[in-house]
Every structure is written in C-alpha cells, then in structure tokens.
Chains A and B, each alone.
Chain A
Amino acid sequence: MGLLSKKDAKLITDPLADNNPITLQVLGICSALAITAELKASIVMSVAVLFVLGLGNVVISLMRNIIPSKIRIIVQLIVVATLVIIVDLVLKAFAYELSKTLSVFVGLIITNCIIMGRFEAFALANGPWKSFLDGIGNSLGYAVILIIIGFFRELLGSGTLLGFKVLGDPIEKTGVYAFGYENNGFMLLAPMALITVGIIIWVQRYKNQDLIEEN
C-alpha cells in the first residue's frame, strides 16, 4: 500500500465526514459562525487551525509521558497559545487586512474546543505520527465545513467569491443583478451561519442515517 496504512488513513478520512468535529461532535461552532461571512477568511482560519492542531498534537504527544496529569490543561494551553501567537504574528506581518477581519478570532483559536478536545482525547494517548495525522484529519474536517459555509454566505450574502464579483456588479446592474436579483443581507449575519450549519447537519444525516442519534 501507499504512504499510509489503512488504520492511519482512517485517522484522516474519519473526521472529514462521519466523525466531523463540527457537524458530529458539535465543537468549534463559535468560530464557524463568526468568521465565515467571507470565503477567504474561512480558508485562512482553516489553515491557521490546521497549523496549530497538527503541530500542537505532535508536541503534546511527544510530551505526553512527562506531563503531570494535574497540570496538563495548563501545559496544553501554553502549547496552543505559543502556536497561535506565531500564526497571529505571521498574519499581521503578511496579511494585515485579513488579520483585521479575523480580529480576535485568531487569538480565540486557543479556546477552540476542537484543539483542546483532540489534545485530551487523542494526543495524550497516542504516538506523534498518529497524533499528527489525527490533527490534520480533524482540522481538515473543520476546514471542509468552514469552507462550505463561507462559500454560501459570501456567494449569497455579498455576491462574490474570494472577492471576485461572480454574480455581476450590484451597482452597475450587470450579471444576475440585471434581472432584479439582490444580495441577501441575512446571510451576512451570524444566525444564518448557524442555520447553514444546521442544514449541513441535516443533509449529512439524511444521506447517512447511521449518524442519527437515538434518544
């Protein structure tokens, strides 16, 4: 077989769909609502989480045998905080406008439940390679949802994608705007992001009915 054994590959593919951190574990919702009004911000946020979670998982996994369990949360926080500060500084240096859009939410990656959740649930009990794959898998799962939400919110809310006016110009009335179409301002508000997450969860569980919880 190729690069990854079947078991390792599952670490990456599982969180993409059937064990998605947002739609199944319902973690990381806060940032999914806050920064998804633009596709670009969603992508950057996803990359940031990918970096923090992938690297953080490895670091925690390497230290897992020497961290006293009483203070493990503090150690985890320090690791995340260090990585997040790196991301924040890089963004400020190379993409200042974007870092202003994301504002406080880059800093809030520290409290993103997905990251603490994976540290606790996986990295503390598994080797660095596996932890790395798990981190990549989960952040990709997070990214998929963020990008879907960002895509629809930007397309329907502003009529653009990554800043390009794909639907035409609303002021000069070109493209679909010539027919009287108008942007849906509701898509830019946070409640609509929540409803979009809800619809994704709905569609996913309709396709794969095993995911429906019994109560």
Chain B
Amino acid sequence: MGLKQNLHKFKEQNKDKKWLPAFSAIHTFLYTPNETTHSGGHVRGADDLKRTMNMVVLALVPCLIFGMFNTGFQHYAAIGESVDFLSMDAFLVGLTKVLPLVIVSYVVGLGVEFIFAIIKGHEVEEGYLVTGMLVPLIVPVDIPLWMLAVAVIFGVVIGKEVFGGTGMNILNPALTIRAFLFFAYPTWMSGDKVWVHGADPRVQNLVEGATPDAISGETIMGALAQGKEMAYTVSDMFFGFIPGSVGETSTLLILLAGLFLIFTKIGSWRIMLSSVVGALVMGLIFNGVVSAGWITETSKFYSLMSTEFWHHLLIGGFAFGVVFMATDPVTASQTTKGKWIYGFLIGFISIMIRVFNPAYPEGVMLAILLMNVFAPTIDHYVVQGNVKRRLKRLKAKTA
C-alpha cells in the first residue's frame, strides 16, 4: 500500500481522537481528502478553499522575496553603504529579518486555529493560510516578534474565531492584526524611523557600523505629511525601491499579482478597479482644490493635497491593500453592484484619511476596515433595491 492509503487508514483508525482535526489539516494540505459526499451534488470543483488560498499565497511570494531584497537594500542605504539591489548582501539581511516574522505569524496563528479546532471539534479551517502570509508583509520590519505574536493571537481570536471562524468574520483578520499593532504600539508602527531595519535608535545598537547621522528611514507618506519634498522618483515608487512595510512597496509586483488573481478569478476585478477609481477621484478633487487656490502653501494639508493624484496609487500601502485585502471574499460586499460601491468608497476614504489625518498615514487600512463593517449594509440595500424593482415590474405587468 502506498503512503496515501496508509494515511487514510490511519485516519479511519483514529476517528474519535480529539487531535484528529490537527492531523487532517496537514493531511488535506497535501492530499485530496478521502471523504465522499453522501447526498446532494456529487460533482465538486477542484478549486476548494485550500487551493484558492494557495493561489493567493502564490501571488504573495514575489512580494515577499522583493520585500527581503528591499529590506536589505534600504538598510544599507540608511547606514550609508551602497549595495546593489539584487545583491546577496541585501537579500541575507532581508532574509534574517523577514523570515522570523513569517515563522512567528504562521506558528502562532495556526497554533490558535488548531486549539480552536480541537476545542470545537471541527476541522481546522484554511483561513489562516493567506492571513499568515499577509501579516509579515504589512508590518514594519523591526517590529519585535512578541508584539507580532500578541497581535496575531488577538487578531485571530477577536477578529475571527469569536464570530465563528473562517468565512464568518466581519473584519479582515490581517488588517485587524495590523490595526491592533497600530493602536497598541504606535511608536513601533508609525513615525519616520520604523520602516527601515536599523534606522530606529532603539535597535541601532544591533547594527554594526551605523552612525546615527547617516540614518534616515522616512517613508514618502511621512515626509509629505511634514511638508517635505518627495525624495524618490516615480519609477522608484513604481518598482518599489522605497522604505515601507515589508511587502507593500513594489507597485509593479502587486499589479502583476492583482492580474494573476483576476486571471484565476480569485480576486474581484470590480473591487480593485473601483477602488482605484475612488482614489483617483478623491485625488483629483484635492488637486482641484489646490489649483483653485482654496488651499495655500501655508496649510498643513498643502503638500499631501498637491501630490499628483495618481502618485497616491504608488505610495503607501494603497496598492497592496486594494489587491489583497479589499478583495477578501469574506469581508467584501457580495453583490455585483455592492462591490462597485464598496471598492469606490475604499479608494475614496483611503485618500481622504491619508490627506486629512497625517497622524494616520495608512488610510487604506482604516478605510478597508471601515468598509468591511459597512459591506453587509451595502449588500442589504442592493438586494432590497433589486427586490423593489422587480416588485414594481410585477405590478406593472399584472396591472
């Protein structure tokens, strides 16, 4: 007998054991489960939840690898040494900093999922596969690992398990984790020093040969909020050679991942497109306000408002949030019309928060969480509108 049969047999023998969900979680990760349907439809698609999740993880891998290179590159740039972007030096620094984040995220998150599965006696849900990969990509690289662990426990338990697990959550778990970190440990999550490894004075002593003078780790958002000139070119922003959270800097790779998700029909193109439109509209309004002369250079909003409207798509976590988080099928609107509204408002509100509240430069995180909460309401009114229209049509016919 082959390994596959042995595994199935093992499963049969241990049917009543409490830890079985933990075993089958690993089992079905590699093999198709041997359960057969007993009633209803017997034809099932091959792209079950686990395969869907794997596709998203696959789309995230380029961002992760790029993030490792960029971490090292930005680190060396910050301490005043110049290395090539695609050099082994840069990659090794990135690897040693980013890999622990990935490991902590997965071990802690899946640990919580396994514990809940065993207590509740159901199968381990796959939801954490994607969340676990998203989390390390949306945090600053120097975040202490224990903080990440605490946030992951909070995010998975309060953001997901209390609502009934994968598929029942109201808020995107990865963003819940990030929001928790953002509000709990603001000094590690915002400001101009946290985004580059070694730039923060608290961790400087870890870095050999670092001179405080040479270090600057400002993000574009941070600089703009303070009214400074943008220090990076548009192509830097597009290709991602800028400081920021680990995996969100390269708009190009995110764009490719977005196309991949649209092509495999996993991400909703409606949400992505309408978010971009929403952001552009808000950006244009701000540009219009500036060129109409209502806002002068003395205003603290001037530099962010006068940023060219399409630059907003390239800086900060906008692209990453829109492609990977706004399209989360569980927390987004379900109806077609709802998706347009949902996406548009995410883009619109992201830029609004970004400009009007420099203390919360990551508007896209807050905008998506806000719209997550409103998604069921949007759906409700879309469905009701449909019902009303059809009732009217029926009346017109019978009358």
What is the interface of chain A, defined by CB distance below 8 A to chain B? 180-182, 184-187, 189, 195, 198, 202
What residue of chain B has the Cβ atom nearest to residue A182's Cβ?
B185
> Are B183 and A186 in contact (CB-based, < 8 A)?
yes
A selection of 7 A-B contacts at a CB cut-off of 8 Å is A180-B144, A180-B146, A181-B146, A184-B184, A185-B183, A185-B185, A185-B186
Bin the interface of chain B by size.
10 to 19
What residue of chain B has the Cβ atom nearest to residue A199's Cβ?
B158
> Are A198 and B183 in contact (CB-based, < 8 A)?
no
Taking CB atoms, residues of chain A closer than 8 Å to B186 are 185
> Contacts A195-B158, A198-B162 given: A182-B183 contact, CB under 8 Å?
no
Indicate whether B370 reaches chain A with its CB closer than 8 angstroms.
no
- Expressed in whole angstroms, the Cα–Cα distance for A189 and B158 within the complex equals 16
> Are B162 and A186 in contact (CB-based, < 8 A)?
no
The binding surface of chain A is classed by DSSP as: helix
> Contacts A195-B158, A198-B162, A202-B162 given: A182-B180 contact, CB under 8 Å?
no
Taking CB atoms, residues of chain A closer than 8 Å to B144 are 180, 182
Indicate whether B147 reaches chain A with its CB closer than 8 angstroms.
yes
> Are B147 and A186 in contact (CB-based, < 8 A)?
no
What residue of chain A has the Cβ atom nearest to residue B188's Cβ?
A182
What residue of chain B has the Cβ atom nearest to residue A179's Cβ?
B146
What is the interface of chain B, defined by CB distance below 8 A to chain A? 144, 146-147, 150, 158, 162, 180, 183-186, 188
Apart from A182-B144, A185-B186, A189-B183, list 18 A-B contacts with CB within 8 A. A180-B144, A180-B146, A181-B146, A182-B147, A182-B188, A184-B150, A184-B184, A184-B185, A185-B183, A185-B184, A186-B180, A186-B183, A186-B184, A187-B184, A195-B158, A198-B158, A198-B162, A202-B162
- Expressed in whole angstroms, the Cα–Cα distance for A185 and B146 within the complex equals 15
> Chain B's nearest CB lies how many Å from the CB of A189?
6
> Chain B's nearest CB lies how many Å from the CB of A15?
25
Taking CB atoms, residues of chain B closer than 8 Å to A182 are 144, 147, 185, 188
- Expressed in whole angstroms, the Cα–Cα distance for A84 and B185 within the complex equals 38
> Chain B's nearest CB lies how many Å from the CB of A141?
24
What residue of chain A has the Cβ atom nearest to residue B182's Cβ?
A186
- Expressed in whole angstroms, the Cα–Cα distance for A181 and B184 within the complex equals 12
- Expressed in whole angstroms, the Cα–Cα distance for A159 and B222 within the complex equals 30
Taking CB atoms, residues of chain B closer than 8 Å to A181 are 146
- Expressed in whole angstroms, the Cα–Cα distance for A186 and B184 within the complex equals 4
Taking CB atoms, residues of chain A closer than 8 Å to B185 are 182, 184-185
